[in-house]
């Protein structure tokens, strides 16, 4: 399909969100295609998901570079060599520099396991339990220089249940992530999610009542 947005995915681990994105992009009519997957960890399981889907996969090991600037320059070269138009962070466990963010400004999104702006950073599930919230979830957002502070594309909420521990809550959130990220990528790729004055405006005709996914999921 001509005109598909070319996407590069950065990973560090098992690649479960990558797998959900690959499956979505394989569907007829999906407006994006993943053209490259890069990992900073040589043993990342997500590389196997990419190769199984016929997508180019490579390692850009941060340990092989003298500092973050050199590492990120190598990432950018690899992404631009693949003509990437949008970068998706999917379990990429490196905090990127302001210079990298500025280079990909408005062209890089991330998924975070909380309902931002609540619980940016690490250990989100334990922090949610400690705070006593009754809803937890995940957010897809544009990457900004503030960690987990960029404009939100979409969110999904899950209940916090009696007896939850961080692992059980994380599993419930991860299932939501696997549905939310492809839905948000679709909206960005087909132009229905647009950055306007620092916020994301979404063109989507729907009845949003009682939706736990916002924006609502579409096939």
pLDDT at 31: 97
Helices (H), 26-108: 46-52, 68-81, 98-103
Q: Report pLDDT digits (tens) over 34-65.
A: 999 999 999 999 999 999 999 999 999 999 99
Q: Report pLDDT digits (tens) over 160-170.
A: 999 999 999 99
pLDDT at 210: 42
- Given pLDDT bands bounded at 50, 70 and 90, which one contains residue 184? very high
* Averaged pLDDT, 177-206: 92
The active-site residue out of 103, 112, 125, 136 is: 112
- Given pLDDT bands bounded at 50, 70 and 90, which one contains residue 207? low
Nearest to 91 by CA among 110, 64, 75: 110
Q: Report pLDDT digits (tens) over 125-143.
A: 999 999 999 999 999 999 9
Strands 108-112 and 135-142, bridge-based pairing: antiparallel
For residue 123, give Cα distances in angstroms to 9, 19, 44, 71, 127: 23, 23, 21, 26, 6
The pair of three-digit structure tokens given for residue 29, joined into one six-digit string: 């009519």
Residue 81 has pLDDT above 80, yes or no: yes
Strands 56-59 and 32-39, bridge-based pairing: parallel
What CATH class does 1-104 carry? alpha beta
Cβ(170)–Cβ(113) under 8 Å? yes
- In the annotation, is 112 catalytic? yes
Nearest to 47 by CA among 9, 74, 85, 3: 9
CATH code 3.40.50.170 region(s) in the chain: 1-104, 113-137+155-219
Residue 214 has pLDDT above 80, yes or no: no
Strands 213-214 and 152-159, bridge-based pairing: antiparallel
The Cα–Cα gap between 211 and 214 comes to 7
Please state the pTM of the whole predicted model: 0.93
Residue 206 has pLDDT above 70, yes or no: no
pLDDT at 215: 73
Percent of the chain with pLDDT over 90: 90
Nearest to 180 by CA among 149, 153, 143: 153
Domain 113-137+155-219: CATH superfamily is: Formyl transferase, N-terminal domain (3.40.50.170)
The pair of three-digit structure tokens given for residue 55, joined into one six-digit string: 């997508």
Residue 1 has pLDDT above 50, yes or no: no
């Amino acid at each position: 399909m001509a005109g598909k947005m070319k996407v590069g995915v950065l990973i560090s681990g098992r690649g479960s969100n990558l797998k959900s994105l690959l499956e979505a992009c394989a569907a007829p009519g999906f407006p994006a295609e993943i053209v490259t997957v890069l990992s900073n960890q040589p043993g990342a399981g997500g590389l196997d998901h990419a190769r199984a889907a016929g997508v180019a996969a490579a390692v850009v090991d941060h340990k092989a570079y003298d500092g973050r600037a050199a590492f990120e320059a190598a990432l950018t070269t690899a992404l631009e060599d693949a003509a990437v138009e949008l970068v998706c962070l999917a379990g990429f466990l490196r905090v990127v520099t302001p210079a990298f963010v500025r280079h990909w400004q408005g062209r890089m999104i991330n998924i975070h396991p909380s309902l931002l702006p609540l619980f940016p950073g690490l250990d989100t599930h334990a922090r949610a339990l400690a705070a006593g919230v009754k809803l937890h979830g995940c957010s897809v957002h544009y990457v900004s220089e503030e960690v987990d502070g960029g404009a939100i594309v979409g969110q999904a909420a899950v209940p916090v249940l009696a007896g939850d521990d961080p692992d059980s809550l994380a599993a419930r959130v991860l299932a939501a992530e696997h549905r939310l990220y492809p839905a948000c990528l679709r909206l960005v790729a087909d132009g229905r999610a647009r950055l306007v004055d620092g916020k994301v405006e979404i063109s989507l005709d729907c009845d949003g009542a009682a939706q736990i996914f916002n924006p609502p999921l579409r096939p």
